[in-house]
Amino acid sequence: MAVEMLKNYIGGQWVEGSGEVLENRNPADTEDLICTFRQSTPEDVAKAVEAAERAFHEWRRVPAPIRGNILRRACRMIEEQKEELARIQTREMGKPLVETRGDVQEAIDTGYWMAGEGRRLYGFTTPSELRDKWNMTYRAPVGVCTLITPWNFPTAIPAWKIFPALICGNAVVFKPAEDVPLSADRLVRIFTEAGVPPGVINLVHGDGAPISDALITDPRVRLVSFTGSCEVGRIISEKCGRHLKKHSLEMGGKNVQVVMEDADLELAVDGALWGAFGTSGQRCTATSRLLLQEGIMDAFMERFLGRVRELKVGNGLGEEDINVGPIINQRQLERILGYLEKAREEGLEPVIGGRQLTEGEYAKGYFIEPTVFVGVTPEHTIWREEVFGPVLAVASFADLEEAIALANRTTYGLSASIYTRDLRKAFVFLNEVETGLVYVNAPTIGAESHMPFGGVKDTGNGHREASLTVLEIFTEWKAINIDYSGSFQRAQIDVVTE
């Protein structure tokens, strides 16, 4: 069967990009060519922005509950196609089916939540200090939004951005990661078939760097929403800053799981295993540091390493019991191997794992063994930098105070978890740890779509996706003042004080 050549979607038309042909291959088996597509050029992006700008003015006038009906239809279609979308994801980016089904489910949950928002989008009314004057507010759309999304959640993260953007009345230019173009294609098809009008959602494929100016600095683009690395986020933020664009960034993490001596160790082992090695550690919420109280260090590590040894690494499309899929691509593989090398240069030796898997079933993919380093300190590179791979740094601590200090010894601030049976310790930790998400007796991954998602410090720039907080990103407050007194009244000046 001929390999499908994906197209961009601009102004309601499927059109080929103008740049070079790129390939989309399965990271578990690089002989599996999934589809091809063309790199978009700045001209392609400009057309998408133009189409979005034109469509925006119609779409923003569609009553929000009606926009909600269209989005609800899209949710139903995603639900119907859940298994197919999950399989596409696994083939494109490798995480096991159990996880890609969860990814699609996260998109469905977000979609229904946001479709319902069409009948809320609450503003507020408030008294005026002047007589016979009414003050009220509402949420207006921002305009054309550029959405730049990563490959690790190929349906969920685009959905986190597209659903709220559309319910609020914005039009979007969607630039998915070049590793997952097929998931993006299928998602956009669903929105169009559900009735999202032409131009309201536009899709441009390819590597972001050559088209970043077109995506970001075009005067018609009002907002950029990005999920990805800090490195790219900074570039985007600089461009947005210079051009005064609203922008929301959701970036890296160096997430910690703390285990106190009083914890349920089995539970904590389950948590660390899933947090560190789920999605092969390729989550911004992945557990990359594990802090163990001294008294349980040995007992915990014995159980934990036993379980790490049992993890099945492989092609997520194969048997259902695969726990750890491949690394997304050659570049990331090399990056992770570079961190392993660096750790060794800095005097660390893995207590388990530490190698690329290249034999047999692994020969055609990008696989790395689940890897654990013990005795890692804040001076080590793997303590400080986000590896985005199946690599866990373990250290011990004496008491809660030290655990909190160590947890906060990072420039990132996304997710943190503590395992303890002591309520007081849990509360002290959740208050003192510098992250946007905190878990008690649960792993650092697994955020729900109706809770604010995002972090502090270098993880973000002050926004929260998901839940109601995402509306702050995709709307602008309009403050309305209606003076029906018929007289000339000045605020602060013509105020009747008694």
Which residues within the stretch 117-176 sit at the binding site for ligand UN1 (CB under 6 A)? 152-153
Which residues within the stretch 290-349 sit at the binding site for ligand UN1 (CB under 6 A)? none
Calpha distance 147→158 (Å, rounded): 8
Angle at 314 between CA 312 and CA 319, to 5 degrees: 80
Sign of torsion over alpha carbons 350, 354, 359, 362: positive
Q: For residue 241, which amino acid is it? A: G
Part in contact with ligand UN1 (CB under 6 A); list of ranges 74-82, 164-172, 278-286, 365-373 = 278-286
Nearer to ligand UN1, 150 or 199 (CB): 150
Could you identify the residue written with the tokens 């890897």?
371
Beta strand pairing call for 125-127 and 437-440: unpaired
Site string for ligand UN1, 232-271 (x = CB under 6 A): ----------------------------------------
480 DSSP β-pair partners = 136
Nearer to ligand UN1, 41 or 155 (CB): 155
The residues that are catalytic are: 250, 284
Among 107, 273, 284, 308, binds ligand UN1 (CB under 6 A): 284
Contacts of 41 (CB under 8 A, 6+ apart): 17, 18, 19, 210, 211
Nearer to ligand UN1, 186 or 283 (CB): 283
Total residues in contact with ligand UN1, by rule CB under 6 A: 10
User: Taking CB under 6 A as the rule, does residue 447 contact ligand UN1?
Assistant: yes
For every residue of 270-306, which 3-state class applies, written as one string?
Answer: HHHHHHHHHHHHCCCCCEEEEEEEHHHHHHHHHHHHH
Part in contact with ligand UN1 (CB under 6 A); list of ranges 86-94, 135-143, 280-288, 393-401 = 280-288
Calpha distance 321→336 (Å, rounded): 24
Nearer to ligand UN1, 103 or 185 (CB): 103
Among 173, 445, 470, 473, binds ligand UN1 (CB under 6 A): 445
Nearer to ligand UN1, 169 or 460 (CB): 460
Q: For residue 235, which amino acid is it? A: I
Nearer to ligand UN1, 159 or 259 (CB): 159
Nearer to ligand UN1, 95 or 364 (CB): 95
User: Taking CB under 6 A as the rule, does residue 283 contact ligand UN1?
Assistant: yes
Site string for ligand UN1, 55-94 (x = CB under 6 A): ----------------------------------------
State the minimum distance, in angstroms, from the CB of residue 459 to ligand UN1: 10
Site string for ligand UN1, 200-239 (x = CB under 6 A): ---------------------------x------------
28 touches 325 (CB < 8 A): yes
- The dihedral region occupied by 121, where left means phi > 0, alpha psi between -120 and 50, and beta the remainder, is left
Nearest to 445 by CA among 319, 286, 302: 286
Calpha distance 226→234 (Å, rounded): 11
Could you identify the residue written with the tokens 């092609």?
315
Part in contact with ligand UN1 (CB under 6 A); list of ranges 52-60, 93-101, 279-287, 340-348 = 279-287
State the minimum distance, in angstroms, from the CB of residue 445 to ligand UN1: 3
User: End-to-end CA distance of the chain, in Å?
Assistant: 82
State the minimum distance, in angstroms, from the CB of residue 212 to ligand UN1: 20
Nearer to ligand UN1, 39 or 152 (CB): 152
Using CA atoms, how far residue 330 sits from 73, 149, 217, 443, in Å, is 38, 19, 31, 28
State the minimum distance, in angstroms, from the CB of residue 369 to ligand UN1: 21
Part in contact with ligand UN1 (CB under 6 A); list of ranges 90-98, 282-290, 322-330, 375-383 = 282-290
DSSP string over 9-58: EETTEEE--SS-EEEEEETTEEEEEEEEEE---HHHHHHHHHHHHHHHHH
State the minimum distance, in angstroms, from the CB of residue 178 to ligand UN1: 17
State the minimum distance, in angstroms, from the CB of residue 416 to ligand UN1: 12
State the minimum distance, in angstroms, from the CB of residue 93 to ligand UN1: 12
133 touches 482 (CB < 8 A): yes
> H or E stretch including 369?
none
State the minimum distance, in angstroms, from the CB of residue 102 to ligand UN1: 8
User: Taking CB under 6 A as the rule, does residue 414 contact ligand UN1?
Assistant: no
Calpha distance 318→142 (Å, rounded): 44
Nearer to ligand UN1, 274 or 367 (CB): 274
Residues lying near ligand UN1 in the complex (CB under 6 A): 106, 152-153, 227, 283-285, 445-447
